[in-house]
Structure 1
């Protein structure tokens, strides 16, 4: 809401010395968000005067039309002689009154005007457009043509109110009343402790049977409808300068007198209005829900198919407007024809939820819908209609018809009971009953009672629904800055759970390994599952669909972390970051089929254990996963040597890094699982509750997946279920042991058949070596048919032996090694190389 300070002063007698910055501080102190204060005309400097065009000479021989004009500026130039000015605009004629800046004047932006030769003539000044004067959009994009009654030589800065300050207020949804000068003026009056001249306090005639006929078929959607008629309007009448300037300062474009007046009253009182050309309305005006298939062409020229939930304004032909959002083109006041001499004024109150849904359904947010959906004062409708009638009579020479139509659904004012000390308890400050009563009365409440206050909420504050809302009003007006600072006292707890500790350890470990955390929204669509090549019978295809998704393309909760991570990798690669390693830890959602919608919970008490159990039973299974994706160089090249691209082994190593944090040893086997390459996919196993269990996969993505998702070549990924790893590790990670005894290292090279997995050989070596084995590491894989034979490979391992209580002898280390080799030979057919 843009609030011109000059307009605000009409309702509150602010001190003359108060600047926009001062008013900004005061309004912020009572809880309004005043974002900026714009100083209009701060760098303007005269002489800027009213001139009358005497002659126009068309200059030939130039690429664009140029006119050489003489303009009468009275005595403003000191000589009384006509001013010679070169101008390229063409929207004015001889005899028009225009705005002229004379040499020595300065326009917004520090543009200084002087006499200069141009197009073969000397231009002594400049004829100004609204943009050059900093007036805002007037819809013409040309020279400002003033009303004929403007006095030649008069100061145009004062005439056009070019110097002002405008406060830009970000109105929160609960303060819809501040989308009006009336609402902001009330807050300013409270902040300064001054009386308010309420512009809604008007003498309004009583309704009678002679007004324009109105029929309300949907009283729940429209509980109040006021209709007034003004006839005998001058179709040539135009909005006066003061009205146009106030609209421009408030951020609206002047259109025509009738429309400008309704917009002006809306800004003044906060009540949206609509003016119909009575000659184009057929029969009674009605309010009802739209019928299926009905269409309406709105004022923006778009033909819209209406929804049965839409509230519409009708006449005998059908819909003529979207109630509370935008009028229809069929009854528009057409200023270009100049034929509208009789108008019907609509001032109604509509259901906020219905208007908000209609505006979003049709993607049609308007100034009216913004106000209705935040709550409009229903009691202001008749005053707004009267104010509109008065202005049309004054400015367009019309006559107000005696008929007044008001259709009102009976309703009682909203009343609350408030303990007088409730704000004290909420704020921790002793305000006292007198302060509470005074502050509530300042915002318009009627307050009765002593210890127990009976508070009647004003009609313009529909957001005040309970005692805490009233307490908030007292607190904000007394000043949030006056609230004491107290340290919170959290209840004693047991610290982080084992699940939380593992989550944090995994994040730190992956970050330490060079991965960057990239959290993503937990939403997916079927399209991305198609791109990942996930089969129709895969459990990841069974998703939980949301009733109100943020995007129609992603209506379901994720069953895997990979879509979000791969999308982040693709975006970063497309923006020039090609060496990428990302990770995420988070929940996935797997429906069990047993979910059901729980019963509505009570709000007057804490849910019972049975209620909470029913809620939990309605939720899908939500295991916590960890995933990484990587592409490009894993080790960059430089003066130290060649780099290395990331590959499937790095994805497997990321899985081992995560497993180490859980205190779990992984078994890696070849696997086939979408979206991984079938020949470069590792299945990851761990012992969970005594049984070897699949906990995840790692490797290089399938080329079809890479192409479908637009990923870099050879992109790799890993995903594991953290909850299974936690169960496998038992929640306890043993501390590293530091021995004072030396280590004994034994190397063995075993020849096995190529199909034999390395993991099986390592498992046999580990089991055969016994308790003395501290660590085992594969350091070489060698294949040579001439030396090893066809279909054979050599696996070289480094075995580290150490005892906790003594130094091992060579015989003990060799015996452990031989036992390891013997078991590997028995299980895998391994032969000691060179034997």
Structure 2
């Protein structure tokens, strides 16, 4: 909302030397947000000039310019008048015009200097409205007698300052109006707020522009005013679409009468474009009071106005020329009589949003019907958004307008029409209120000590007297409660504050006017003994381990699309294709919540590599959403009461599982090149190692087996599982494979191509919540042996199809059997060989066994026994044969 200081000064006491910055600061002090200061775009000498002579001079290019002699005060000083070149032709000798002399700067900025043009030295410029920022008219220059009127122009003298005359030096304050402060969408509201912010006595410093006498409504015959019927048969949320409708009629308006300059200038300063007298007046009253108005050509209105909902398939051509299909929720202004004899057959306007073309005020309109109504905010907001038709009127209606303002707004518009359009107003007005509607706000019971309790301001500063004083300043009527023992006040909010509906709203007003600076700053004490949960510590430990290993943590948006499942090559029945769709997504191209962190992390990798990064290692810890097919729908909860336990249980039951995953990607070199060598390209083993790093940080061992799952390469994919509990309930490597917690390996070439990733990109993804749940709470300190280890190497020949990990697990199981479990420290694969003399279709796997006892040095016999037991188990499980045996 923009408000010129001169307009504010009409309704509130502004000091003569106050600046726009000071006014804005006062408004900010009471909670409004400053958007900016405007005005002062024209500087330097811009004066009134009298045209003494005009000499047309045709040019070779076909254009005719005027060489003018202009008096800008020189004649009175006995000097020669100025010579000015002008291309406009809408003036003549004797006219008073606006002249920008050398040194002036017009909007643009456009500095003015004496310059030679068309064979003359033009000593200034005769200005048009657009050149001065007064409008868009550039067809001709400003003739002050036409702009200000003959009477006002006759009092001007050449050389007089034109900046002040035209309001070009005036500052305009612009504030951002929040949805709960709709009354500030008016000069009336801002003037009142300035009085609060400047600590003025509102009762004496503020003058209400709506304090006017209005004619009585009702009567019969011509004295009853224009007929109005409220027929809302489909109210939204139980509230009628229109609670009050006022009409006034002005007859015999001169359709050619222009809007006075001061009115046009105010509209321009407020950011609106002057159109015609009737429209300009309704806009002026709306800006001044905050009550939108609409003007109809009475000759085009057929019968009484009817407020009703739209019928299915009904259409309306609005003032912007668009033929709109209406929705049954739209509230309409209608007229005419249908074939059934019922009025309101023709739609002539979208109530509170925009009028219709059929009844538009035009240059032939003689009789004007003025409408001032109060419409339901929800209805207007939905209509404006449904038709993508925000308007100055809808912005005010959807925030709530003063229920007591309609008659006064219509009266002010009628007075201006009569004064400047020469019309005659009908004596009576129509004022219809919806049945069962109260125009007065409901009283609110406010506990006296609530303001101090909620704000933290000392109670002696916000005692009962101070609270009553502040509430009365904003227009509330305050009285003690009938029951003094309750310690409450009965507060009736003013009609222009529909946002004041409960005690906390009043507390906000009390604190706002008392001063936010009075609220003490108190740091809340940190309760002892609280910190991260066990799960939080473990998740951070996993992230720290990856970061220490050279990965960079990133965050990606958790939104994806169905096309991403195709790009990742997921099977048609893959559960990861079942994703939750957002009701209001940020982007229509990504309406789904991800079921895999990798699905969005790969976008981050692509973005980094496209910016020139060649060696990249990224990871992300984030949630995924796994909808459960057939899950119950979430119940719709009421907002006026606390949900019941059953409702909360139903709400939680409808929330899908959202486990936390950790995923990582590597592209390029895992080890950089340098003087030490060419480096090493990341491969599937690096992805598996990174996954094992995560598990190791949580003191878990992962069982690695061959896997096949999109988006990984089927031949280079590892399935990662937790160890299954053994017969005695303990988990161990010898116990077998438990729950699958993730996969790692090289991405499928088709996925790499579809997503534009570097070749041979590798990745992993783990269910971090599953790992956290399996992590041991207590880990005993290891017992260190003071005795030397014993090392045994075995080379086993097995079928090439047998995974090396399966053989390693067999060796571990065999070595741990027979009472040797405490002797095995490590079983590690250190060589894989194929070729002669190993038979075709087989391969040699070499393992190192590291053995150590806690109480003695192992003998050769001890080591041999463990070695033989391990080899025997590998032979039993996989037919392994000692190489060379």
Q: Look up the match of 1:827.
A: 877
Asked if 1:566 corresponds to 2:586, the answer is: no
Query: 1:639-718 residue pairs with structure 2 within 5 A?
Result: 641-687=677-723, 692-718=738-764
Q: Look up the match of 1:75.
A: 73
How far the C-alpha of 1:163 sits from its partner, in A, is 1.2
**Residue of 198, 213, 221 corresponding to 1:203:** 213
**Residue of 577, 590, 612 corresponding to 2:627:** 590
How far the C-alpha of 1:712 sits from its partner, in A, is 4.8
Q: Structure 1 pair 143/477, CA: closer, same or farther in 2 (3 Å)?
A: farther
Asked if 1:506 corresponds to 2:503, the answer is: no
| In 1: Cα distance, 2:783 partner to 2:110 partner | 78
Q: Look up the match of 2:465.
A: 434
**Residue of 315, 320, 323 corresponding to 1:300:** 320
Query: 1:428-827 residue pairs with structure 2 within 5 A?
Result: 428=456, 429-430=458-459, 431-449=462-480, 451-489=487-525, 494-574=530-610, 579-580=615-616, 581-591=618-628, 593-598=630-635, 600=637, 607-608=644-645, 610-635=646-671, 637=673, 641-687=677-723, 692-732=738-778, 750-770=796-816, 771-775=822-826, 777-778=828-829, 781-783=832-834, 785-786=835-836, 788-797=838-847, 800-801=850-851, 819-827=869-877
Asked if 1:20 corresponds to 2:57, the answer is: no
Find the residue that maps to 2:713 and give its secondary structure. strand
Is the contact between residue 250 and residue 418 of structure 2 (CA under 8 Å) also seen in structure 1? yes
Asked if 1:10 corresponds to 2:41, the answer is: no
Asked if 1:243 corresponds to 2:263, the answer is: yes
**Residue of 137, 140, 147 corresponding to 1:140:** 137
Is the contact between residue 49 and residue 96 of structure 2 (CA under 8 Å) also seen in structure 1? yes
Q: More deviation in 758-767 or 769-778?
A: 769-778
| In 2: Cα distance, 1:705 partner to 1:416 partner | 64
Find the residue that maps to 1:320 and give its secondary structure. strand
Q: Structure 1 pair 814/463, CA: closer, same or farther in 2 (3 Å)?
A: farther
| In 2: Cα distance, 1:703 partner to 1:163 partner | 69
**Residue of 142, 147, 161 corresponding to 2:167:** 161
How far the C-alpha of 1:733 sits from its partner, in A, is 6.1
| In 1: Cα distance, 2:621 partner to 2:519 partner | 41
Asked if 1:121 corresponds to 2:120, the answer is: yes
1:299-322 deviations in Å (ceiling 9; x for gaps): 333332222212222233632222
Q: Which structure 2 residue ranges, 5 or more long, are not aligned?
A: 337-344, 482-486, 726-730, 732-736, 817-821
Q: Structure 1 pair 275/79, CA: closer, same or farther in 2 (3 Å)?
A: farther
How far the C-alpha of 1:441 sits from its partner, in A, is 0.7
Find the residue that maps to 1:252 and give its secondary structure. coil
How far the C-alpha of 1:91 sits from its partner, in A, is 8.1
| In 1: Cα distance, 2:126 partner to 2:681 partner | 67
How far the C-alpha of 1:278 sits from its partner, in A, is 2.8
Is the contact between residue 49 and residue 157 of structure 1 (CA under 8 Å) also seen in structure 2? no
| In 1: Cα distance, 2:878 partner to 2:165 partner | 100
Find the residue that maps to 2:11 and give its secondary structure. coil
How far the C-alpha of 1:204 sits from its partner, in A, is 1.3
**Residue of 190, 200, 215 corresponding to 1:184:** 190
Note the aligned Cα RMSD (angstroms). Answer: 3.4
| In 2: Cα distance, 1:91 partner to 1:795 partner | 101
Q: Structure 1 pair 43/533, CA: closer, same or farther in 2 (3 Å)?
A: same
Q: Structure 1 pair 790/258, CA: closer, same or farther in 2 (3 Å)?
A: farther
Q: Look up the match of 1:425.
A: 453
| In 2: Cα distance, 1:120 partner to 1:746 partner | 108
Q: Which structure 1 residue ranges, 5 or more long, are not aligned?
A: none
1:318-356 deviations in Å (ceiling 9; x for gaps): 32222222223333334xxx3233322222111111111
1:221-252 deviations in Å (ceiling 9; x for gaps): 11111222223222222233322222222222
1:510-533 deviations in Å (ceiling 9; x for gaps): 333344444344444434334433
Find the residue that maps to 1:45 and give its secondary structure. coil
**Residue of 366, 377, 380 corresponding to 1:352:** 377
| In 2: Cα distance, 1:539 partner to 1:23 partner | 61
The TM-score normalised by the length of structure 1 is 0.89
How far the C-alpha of 1:414 sits from its partner, in A, is 1.7
The TM-score normalised by the length of structure 2 is 0.84
| In 1: Cα distance, 2:516 partner to 2:790 partner | 70
| In 1: Cα distance, 2:781 partner to 2:37 partner | 61
Q: Look up the match of 2:32.
A: 32
| In 2: Cα distance, 1:12 partner to 1:449 partner | 31
Q: Look up the match of 1:55.
A: 54
Q: Structure 1 pair 222/76, CA: closer, same or farther in 2 (3 Å)?
A: farther
| In 2: Cα distance, 1:813 partner to 1:127 partner | 110
Is the contact between residue 213 and residue 284 of structure 1 (CA under 8 Å) also seen in structure 2? yes
Q: Structure 1 pair 320/605, CA: closer, same or farther in 2 (3 Å)?
A: closer
Find the residue that maps to 2:454 and give its secondary structure. helix
Q: Look up the match of 1:259.
A: 279
How far the C-alpha of 1:657 sits from its partner, in A, is 2.4
Is the contact between residue 742 and residue 766 of structure 2 (CA under 8 Å) also seen in structure 1? yes
How far the C-alpha of 1:269 sits from its partner, in A, is 1.0
Is the contact between residue 233 and residue 399 of structure 1 (CA under 8 Å) also seen in structure 2? yes
Q: Look up the match of 2:819.
A: none
Q: More deviation in 367-376 or 490-499?
A: 490-499
The structure whose Rg is larger is 2
Asked if 1:232 corresponds to 2:238, the answer is: no
Find the residue that maps to 1:617 and give its secondary structure. helix
| In 1: Cα distance, 2:86 partner to 2:759 partner | 62
Is the contact between residue 70 and residue 81 of structure 2 (CA under 8 Å) also seen in structure 1? yes
| In 1: Cα distance, 2:494 partner to 2:534 partner | 53
Asked if 1:415 corresponds to 2:465, the answer is: no
| In 2: Cα distance, 1:649 partner to 1:65 partner | 82
Asked if 1:321 corresponds to 2:368, the answer is: no
Q: Look up the match of 1:281.
A: 301
| In 2: Cα distance, 1:762 partner to 1:725 partner | 23
Is the contact between residue 510 and residue 583 of structure 1 (CA under 8 Å) also seen in structure 2? no
Q: Look up the match of 2:340.
A: none
Q: Structure 1 pair 607/496, CA: closer, same or farther in 2 (3 Å)?
A: farther
Question: Aligned pair count?
Answer: 825
Asked if 1:365 corresponds to 2:385, the answer is: no
How far the C-alpha of 1:447 sits from its partner, in A, is 0.3
